[in-house]
A and B are shown apart, each in its own frame.
Chain A
Amino acid sequence: DVKVTQSSRYLVKRTGEKVFLECVQDMDHENMFWYRQDPGLGLRLIYFSYDVKMKEKGDIPEGYSVSREKKERFSLILESASTNQTSMYLCASSWGWREWGSYNEQFFGPGTRLTVL
């Protein structure tokens, strides 16, 4: 079974703090993703990584950065947390590009509910 774990289920931080969210997968997946999920807005992609030390911006990268020093670990960093970053953060992983038509679904971690006060 694929397992994607996230460092915390719940986190409370203060405005201006630096926040680290960590994600680990155990399936040797090439791709890893960070999303945030908000009511009425759905899942939105923040950043993704297709290889160690490689990263690409998603749809809403502003205010976030990422780090992938090892294949199994992908970190999301909020340099200076703000109240509008209060959200559910979901990490996911998948295999890299396969032939057209292959499933290659994303597997999600349990999520971290971050509250910024």
Chain B
Amino acid sequence: NAGVTQTPKFQVLKTGQSMTLQCAQDMNHEYMSWYRQDPGMGLRLIHYSVGAGITDQGEVPNGYNVSRSTTEDFPLRLLSAAPSQTSVYFCASSRWGAIGELFFGEGSRLTVL
């Protein structure tokens, strides 16, 4: 049972480059979300989705785009990377009836130079 799979695990970008962090889950979860984790700041919600075709902004959405064309996939796009986006990114999913019980991917460490 794969759960939530994130790729890549590590990435180094130059300022201004774009990239996509992939997230896939095989649990048929309706709810998916992206967080970033920075030292001393806990997890901050970037974007979330309550089902295919529906996305919404979280606490820190600027500089990131998402889409949800299928139940399984929820990619996070950085359009023009900035050093302030250096962070560890986590994708998470849950059943609609238990949104708080998140299952997290293993994280993607992104460095922007």
The finding on whether chains A and B are genuine partners in a shared complex, rather than unrelated, reads no
